[in-house]
Amino acid sequence: MEPLAPTCSPAEHPGVRKQFPMPGTLAIERASRVCRALGEPARLRLMARLAGGECCVTELAEAEGEELSTISQRLRVLRAENIVVRRRRGKHINYSLADDHMSDLVSTVLAHASEPVEPVLKDDQQTEEEAKA
Amino acid sequence: MEPLAPTCSPAEHPGVRKQFPMPGTLAIERASRVCRALGEPARLRLMARLAGGECCVTELAEAEGEELSTISQRLRVLRAENIVVRRRRGKHINYSLADDHMSDLVSTVLAHASEPVEPVLKDDQQTEEEAKA
DNA sequence: ATTACAATTACACAACTGTGCAAGTATGAT
DNA sequence: ATCATACTTGCACAGTTGTGTAATTGTAAT
């Protein structure tokens, strides 16, 4: 449990040691919960669908080709993190994204995933500048 | 497994049915993997730290008060999703965020988590407009 | 009231994930 | 070559998570 103190001196670390103000435990906790909720293909698909407009559970189940109960469970997880919101519409319950932040998040991560893997600088390589230094 | 066809007609669903172009399976898969990687407090904290500048494993372990092996495993997960990149620096291996998308993602989700829960429109309520309609 | 449809929830089981310990690899110094 | 430091990985165990079936709740209509 107790980590040992490193023997490497601070001078060995040329990285920017700007001591970025770390977010509080609560913020980290909440943010990671949101990410985890989006961290499953099935749920992220649901989010992508909801980004196109609000839907009732039956619609979503039909679109996804899944059990109603399964969709409901997924929505439950999303709702627990305030990622989606629901509203009664007569016999149906319509779900939609909680706010603009959420559509931002979804589109950002999807945009990144759609991009080609940058072949510019592969892992474990050094830049040209570093090579001559 | 086979979902039953819903008996509710499309006319019942006033939501924007704009048939948003759904992202491909691959994009969804990759995006959700990224989210899942960020979906754990410990790993997200690591990301927040790396957002402040590149670090070696020992530094991170010391900062987090964790075993070196634990940090290494976390970095492994992040690296598997191309979220972070590593580079040898003599005796050390420095990790840093893979690209600008990643710092964007991290700061966006953290910003959202730091915000107060909007008290504007609670769940399962209807807007004023809808009340008179 | 009863009936029908929409959605949620409880439960149980399988699959996955994170962690620490211990062993292994890689680099630099002597 | 040996030694020490820095990091990674294999393994096993505990804790978590997603899914379907079946039972339950809630709403609207008759």
Determine, yes or no, domain membership for B129: no
Residue A121 DSSP SS3: coil
* B79, closest nucleotide (Cα–C1'): D8
Look at the block and give the residue holding tokens 């070696």: B56
Contacts (Cβ under 8 Å, ≥6 apart) of A35: B35, B36, B38, B39, B44, B109
Determine, yes or no, domain membership for B44: yes
Those residues of chain B that have pLDDT short of 70 are 1-20, 117-133
Contacts (Cβ under 8 Å, ≥6 apart) of A124: B86, B87, B88
Query: Chain B contacts of A29, Cβ < 8 Å?
Result: 41, 113
Nearest to B108 among A48, A94, A104 (CB): A104
Q: Does residue B35 lie within 7 Å of nucleic acid chain C, judged by its CB?
A: no
Query: Chain A contacts of B40, Cβ < 8 Å?
Result: 32, 36
Segment 39-68 of chain B within 8 Å of chain A by CB: 39-41, 43-45, 48-49, 51-56, 58-59, 61-62, 65-68
Determine, yes or no, domain membership for A23: no
By the CB < 8 Å criterion, does A123 face chain B? yes
State whether A52 and B20 contact (CB < 8 Å): yes
CATH number of the CATH domain containing A106: 1.10.10.10
According to the model, what pLDDT value does residue A90 have?
Answer: 86
Q: Does residue B32 lie within 7 Å of nucleic acid chain D, judged by its CB?
A: no
- Identify from A44, A76, A118, A120 which residue to disrupt to test chain B contact, counting B C-beta atoms within 10 A and taking the largest count: A44
Share of chain A above pLDDT 70, in %: 72
Q: Are B35 and A10 in contact (CB under 8 A)?
A: no
Determine, yes or no, domain membership for B23: no
Using alpha carbons, select from A73, A89, A3 the residue that is nearest to residue A37.
A73
| Enclosing H/E stretch for A86 | strand A84-89
Those residues of chain A that have pLDDT short of 50 are 1-4, 15-16, 120-122, 126-133
What length is written for chain B?
133
Tally of structural domains, chain B: 1
Look at the block and give the residue holding tokens 């004023």: B128
Q: Are A22 and B72 in contact (CB under 8 A)?
A: no
Q: Where do the H-state alpha helices sit in A6-99?
A: 25-38, 41-50, 57-64, 68-80
According to the model, what pLDDT value does residue A13 have?
Answer: 59
First to last CA, chain A: 39
According to the model, what pLDDT value does residue A115 have?
Answer: 78
According to the model, what pLDDT value does residue A29 have?
Answer: 95
Domain membership of residue A83 as a residue range: 38-112
Determine, yes or no, domain membership for A129: no
Determine, yes or no, domain membership for B46: yes
According to the model, what pLDDT value does residue B115 have?
Answer: 78
According to the model, what pLDDT value does residue A103 have?
Answer: 92
Determine, yes or no, domain membership for A98: yes
By the CB < 8 Å criterion, does B86 face chain A? yes
Determine, yes or no, domain membership for A118: no
